Amino acid sequence: MPSGQPGDKFNYNNSGYVLLAMIIEKYSDKSFWGFLQKYIFPP
């Protein structure tokens, strides 16, 4: 739950990337890091 008024402080949430990693690992049969290395950061 938010603990203040909008604009009072900054809260960061990284759960979107956790969900993305779980989806990629399930449907690509690769680890998240392996997927990133092959498709996002190729040599």
pLDDT tens-place string over residues 30-39: 999 999 999 9
pLDDT tens-place string over residues 17-32: 999 999 999 999 999 9
Residue 35 CB partners (closer than 8 Å, separation 6+): 24, 25, 28
Query: In the chain, how many domains are there?
Result: 1
Q: Encode the chain in three state secondary structure.
A: CCCCCCCCCCCCCCHHHHHHHHHHHHHHCCCHHHHHHHHHCCC
Its domain, for residue 29, covers 14-43
In a domain, 32, yes or no: yes
In a domain, 26, yes or no: yes
In a domain, 9, yes or no: no
In a domain, 4, yes or no: no
* Prediction pTM value: 0.62
